[in-house]
């Protein structure tokens, strides 16, 4: 029964009940946080073996190098091989760094801005304008990087099978369009995964800029919520086959697999791109923390070892996602005041409420002690043109808190919708 | 007996003997490496406790934060306090990062280049020219950073009590002079330490550029070769007192204290400078590897704990430095064909040979299987105008190899001098 089909008496009645629900919610004095995609304590516990690794007298790699000392900018071979096997990437095309892939993404754009990429005619910083394609809703920290470099962000829709490539094709005729953000699997915040056909198309689209780059941030490549691990698409191969070998900067990390703050990040790309990156990274420093890489190799043991850890994450996460979806359906389904994604992996549920009410929902929730990611944060500059989207991050709080918070959120969504309708 | 005071018969005789020495040296088929300031295996062993730290169930800081998760861009408080005590810096002015201070130095210059510093009128990259003061001989990796950013490097002499400030004073009248490299203690490669008077003067010199920055790279602040730990000068306080609070970017790290490739790097500065840095670093990433910081805090225990480790390093390093100095004196002293520094800390001996022969010495050594850091490498662009300077790094090889290598180096120095004299 859609809100719009209610008569005014019914609406009045629903409004009264919802206001009462909201008052009761406020009276609870909650202090709940659904803001960030952080692993829970129980998830971090899964990697506690790392706290004593690599272990006494364990400090050499398979080739016998002393990992305690300087050197090895690419990262240790055996971890790159393990990770390459997991991701379908040759170890030769894979660099293992310190903990944060965000750091590497920033550096890639910074290096391109200051020095130009290996395919650039001039540094991006010397271009009149640099434009960037941003599928929305998307990842706020991505957009914060391009914003910081003064890059003009052009939004396109993120669809269920990936970014709207019709829009991308059009935009790529502009030589000032130098880049694009893509989270190919279990995307932040929608949970959408790009289809094989779209990935191949993106690899082969003609681009006016020879130095057009896609930051292919596969942050959730093995972050399933089910028993299944969808195939990780060999995007570097697709690009190579399509004659655009340098198009993709491919990111991944163990951040939500082992320790979010102390894992290993990976950067994969064509040899030419890696050479370009390493040439500058080699001025920036001497090498990553290889002891932590050794510890990670020991902890995982194999590519299957990573999947095994991820199954245990899924077991902890799936009930929380189930609760979010269940409560949204139970509380809001009949009124047709919201749409939400039903992710099979990743860290988020993307919730679209009645146009023009997302900020109000955020405010209502906040006033009831439930902190949500700010409305609009999944859009460049934090501006959702429809004031419609909210990102839900249920991973961190315990299940009972997720349930309480989501019930509260549902009340706020309904109340905001009713307020709008009666305005 | 200086070479110059020998008559031609004596010279001839010495030449013959030295040629014979060199032939014998070549016949040994050596394969020795004195190139880089890397800790030896025995030194790395001193920190092996880190291989099992922070230890089972140990993942919170003193404030109870879970260090396995995201967050805390400044680094964990207790390690900053420990390190601050050691360095005479308030924990509030100290950021603890990942392993490499070189990374942070690159980022500081990169951020200034792209965005400008907190005191800049425009980004450095938008200046007509940016000039940088480089005391020589100095650290090749410093010069590689400024070279990469296209910064014009102006050399000034590094004297026994610090950089030639007369020259600096002059240069600072130019508003395009935006920065300066300084290794204040046990400098690379001379081992010289800046005097308190010079440090105060550098803090108070008038600079035409409001955004003039000194990268004060205190890489060897506790790296004594004796029993003594010279005072670490409170340079940030000096700058504050002199009315130039934002002048110094102060770097240090545990790289040559625990693991060269897997330690913790620190950045200290005024609050305004830290705010500027963290604002951009917070776009670049979410936080450093705090588990490694916790492990380091446990390993050291206290500031005195750091000094205790350093005494054990000194016990391993001092015999190697003694051997270098002894052999240079024994083999070359009487001929007056070389000058060398006599460091009481740090990782290097700076060797000045007869003008115009450093490259030849390097070549002779290489052909005898002894790899030295390339002649000129302690100068910007690798160009030593006098072709005079060689950097000796005796830390990595075992003592017996240091002795063999240095005896060989002495032969090469003498042979190159004799060749020049007889040319």
Domains of chain B by range and CATH? 3-43+307-422 (3.90.1150.10), 58-301 (3.40.640.10)
A169-221 pLDDT, tens digit each: 999 999 999 999 999 999 999 999 999 999 999 999 999 999 999 999 999 99
**What is the C-alpha to C-alpha distance for residues B29 and B23, in angstroms, rounded to an integer?**
11
In contact, A344 and A186? CB cutoff 8 Å: yes
The per-residue pLDDT for B36 is: 86
**Measured distance between the N- and C-terminal CA atoms of chain B, rounded to whole angstroms:** 21
What token pair was written down for A278? 């390493």
Q: What angle do CA A148, B249, B60 make, to 5 degrees?
A: 75
The per-residue pLDDT for A168 is: 98
**What is the C-alpha to C-alpha distance for residues B168 and A169, in angstroms, rounded to an integer?**
55
Task: Give me the residue from A48, A286, A288 closest to B102, CB to CB.
Answer: A286
Whether B158 has its CB under 8 Å from any CB of chain A: the answer is no
From chain B, the residues in CB contact with A59 under 8 A are 44, 48, 51
3-class SS of residue A105: helix
Interface with B, mutate which of A141, A284, A292 (most B CBs under 10 A): A284
From chain A, the residues in CB contact with B57 under 8 A are 48, 51
Following CA atoms B237, B241, B247, B251 in sequence, which dihedral angle do they give, to the nearest 10 degrees? Answer: -10
**What is the C-alpha to C-alpha distance for residues B126 and B409, in angstroms, rounded to an integer?**
46
C-alpha A105 chain-centroid distance = 13
Task: Give me the residue from A39, A144, A285 closest to B100, CB to CB.
Answer: A285
In contact, B346 and B250? CB cutoff 8 Å: no
From the number of C-beta atoms within 10 Å of its C-beta (0-12, 13-18, 19+), residue A9 rates as exposed
A7-19 pLDDT, tens digit each: 999 999 999 999 9
SS3 content of chain B, % helix, strand, coil (to 5): 45, 15, 40
**What is the C-alpha to C-alpha distance for residues A96 and A84, in angstroms, rounded to an integer?**
10
Residues B71, A261: C-beta atoms closer than 8 Å: yes
Q: Name the E strands within B341-410.
A: 349-353, 370-372, 389-392
Residues A261, B125: C-beta atoms closer than 8 Å: no
A109-136 pLDDT, tens digit each: 999 999 999 999 999 999 999 999 999 9
From chain A, the residues in CB contact with B285 under 8 A are 100, 102-103, 106
In contact, A170 and A205? CB cutoff 8 Å: no
Instruction: Please report the ipTM that was assigned to this predicted complex.
Output: 0.97
A24: closest CA of chain B, how far (Å): 32
DSSP B54: S
From chain A, the residues in CB contact with B347 under 8 A are none
Residues B284, A106: C-beta atoms closer than 8 Å: yes
pLDDT at position B342 over 90: yes
B124: closest CA of chain A, how far (Å): 11
Residues of B (337-356) whose Cβ lies below 8 Å from A: none
The per-residue pLDDT for A423 is: 80
Among A346, A329, A319, A332, residue whose Cα is nearest residue A401: A319
Whether B260 has its CB under 8 Å from any CB of chain A: the answer is yes
The per-residue pLDDT for B4 is: 84
Residues B72, A261: C-beta atoms closer than 8 Å: yes
The per-residue pLDDT for B391 is: 97
**What is the C-alpha to C-alpha distance for residues A371 and A409, in angstroms, rounded to an integer?**
10
Residues B69, A44: C-beta atoms closer than 8 Å: yes
B284-296 pLDDT, tens digit each: 999 999 999 999 9
From chain B, the residues in CB contact with A56 under 8 A are 48, 51-52
Residues B103, A56: C-beta atoms closer than 8 Å: no
**What is the C-alpha to C-alpha distance for residues B411 and B418, in angstroms, rounded to an integer?**
11
Supply the angle between the helices B290-300 and B303-332 in degrees, to the nearest 10.
80
**What is the C-alpha to C-alpha distance for residues A172 and A328, in angstroms, rounded to an integer?**
38
Supply the angle between the helices A303-332 and A399-421 in degrees, to the nearest 10.
40
User: What is the value of pTM for the model shown?
Assistant: 0.97
Percent of chain A scored above 90 by pLDDT?
Answer: 97
Interface with B, mutate which of A262, A263, A278, A294 (most B CBs under 10 A): A262
What token pair was written down for B143? 């010069």
How many other CB atoms are found less than 10 A from the CB of residue A266? 25
**What is the C-alpha to C-alpha distance for residues A359 and A296, in angstroms, rounded to an integer?**
42
> Long-range contacts of range B398-404, CB-CB < 8 Å, 24 or more positions apart?
B398/B40, B399/B319, B399/B320, B399/B323, B401/B32, B402/B34, B402/B320, B402/B323, B402/B324, B403/B323, B403/B327, B404/B28, B404/B30, B404/B32
Question: Sheet holding A248-253: strands in order across?
Answer: A94-96, A265-268, A248-253, A213-217, A177-182, A131-136, A152-159, A162-163
**What is the C-alpha to C-alpha distance for residues B273 and B265, in angstroms, rounded to an integer?**
17
In contact, A227 and A18? CB cutoff 8 Å: no
Task: Give me the residue from B51, B67, B106 closest to A59, CB to CB.
Answer: B51
What token pair was written down for A139? 């990842």
Among B252, B247, B176, residue whose Cα is nearest residue B213: B247
DSSP secondary structure string for all residues of A54-87: S-TT--B-TT--BTTSS--TT--HHHHHHHHHHH
Residues B261, A70: C-beta atoms closer than 8 Å: yes
Pick the residue from chain B with its C-alpha nearest to A281. Answer: B103
The per-residue pLDDT for B261 is: 86
Tell me whether strands A265-268 and A349-353 are parallel, antiparallel or unpaired. Answer: unpaired
pLDDT band at A1 (very low <50, low <70, confident <90, very high): low
A339-383 pLDDT, tens digit each: 999 999 999 999 999 999 999 999 999 999 999 999 999 999 999
3-class SS of residue A154: strand
Q: How many CB pairs under 8 A join A and B?
A: 162
Whether B283 has its CB under 8 Å from any CB of chain A: the answer is yes
In contact, B409 and B365? CB cutoff 8 Å: yes
Mean pLDDT for the stretch of residues B182-207: 98
Average pLDDT, chain A: 97
Residues whose CB is less than 8 angstroms from the CB of residue B423 and which lie 6 or more positions away in sequence, other chains included: none
From chain B, the residues in CB contact with A107 under 8 A are 284
In contact, B353 and B419? CB cutoff 8 Å: no
Pick the residue from chain A with its C-alpha nearest to B140. Answer: A283
From chain A, the residues in CB contact with B36 under 8 A are 70
The per-residue pLDDT for A36 is: 86
pLDDT at position B1 over 80: no
From chain A, the residues in CB contact with B144 under 8 A are 283
B345-391 pLDDT, tens digit each: 999 999 999 999 999 999 999 999 999 999 999 999 999 999 999 99
């Amino acid at each position: 029964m859609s809100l719009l089909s209610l008569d005014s008496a019914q609406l009045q009645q629903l409004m009264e009940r919802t206001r009462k629900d909201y008052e009761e919610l406020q009276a609870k004095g909650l202090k709940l946080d659904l803001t960030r995609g952080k692993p829970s304590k129980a998830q971090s516990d899964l990697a506690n073996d790392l706290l004593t690794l690599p272990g006494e007298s364990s400090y050499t790699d398979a080739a016998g190098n002393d990992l305690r000392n300087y050197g090895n900018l690419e990262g240790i071979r055996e971890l790159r091989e393990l990770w390459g096997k997991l991701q379908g990437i040759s170890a030769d095309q894979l660099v293992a760094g310190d903990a944060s892939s965000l750091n590497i993404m920033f550096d890639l754009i910074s290096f391109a801005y200051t020095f130009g990429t290996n395919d650039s005619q001039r540094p991006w910083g010397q271009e009149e304008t640099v434009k960037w394609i941003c599928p929305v809703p998307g990842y706020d920290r991505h957009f914060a990087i391009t914003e910081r470099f003064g890059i003009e962000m052009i939004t396109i829709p993120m669809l269920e099978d990936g970014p709207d490539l019709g829009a991308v094709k059009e935009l790529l005729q502009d030589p000032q369009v130098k880049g694009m953000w893509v989270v190919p699997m279990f995307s932040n915040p929608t949970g959408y995964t790009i289809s094989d056909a779209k990935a191949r198309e993106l690899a082969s689209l003609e681009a006016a800029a020879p130095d057009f780059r896609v930051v292919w941030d596969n942050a959730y490549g093995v972050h399933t919520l089910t028993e299944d691990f969808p195939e990780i698409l060999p995007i570097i191969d697709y690009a190579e086959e399509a004659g655009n070998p340098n198009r993709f900067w491919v990111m991944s990390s163990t951040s939500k697999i082992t320790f979010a703050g102390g894992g290993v990040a990976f950067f994969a790309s064509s040899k030419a791109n890696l050479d370009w990156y390493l040439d500058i990274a080699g001025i920036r420093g001497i090498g990553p923390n290889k002891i932590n890489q050794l510890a990670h190799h020991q902890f995982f043991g194999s590519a299957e070892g990573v999947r095994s850890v991820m199954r245990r994450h899924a077991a902890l996460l799936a009930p929380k996602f189930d609760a979010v979806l269940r409560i949204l359906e139970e509380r809001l389904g009949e009124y047709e005041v919201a749409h939400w994604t039903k992710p099979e992996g990743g860290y988020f549920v993307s919730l679209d409420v009645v146009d023009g009410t997302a900020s109000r929902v955020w405010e209502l929730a906040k006033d009831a002690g439930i902190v949500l990611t700010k409305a609009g944060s999944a859009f460049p500059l934090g501006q959702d043109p429809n004031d419609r989207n909210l990102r839900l991050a249920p991973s961190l709080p315990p299940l009972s808190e997720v349930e309480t918070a989501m019930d509260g959120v549902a009340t706020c969504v309904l109340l905001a919708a009713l307020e709008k309708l009666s305005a």
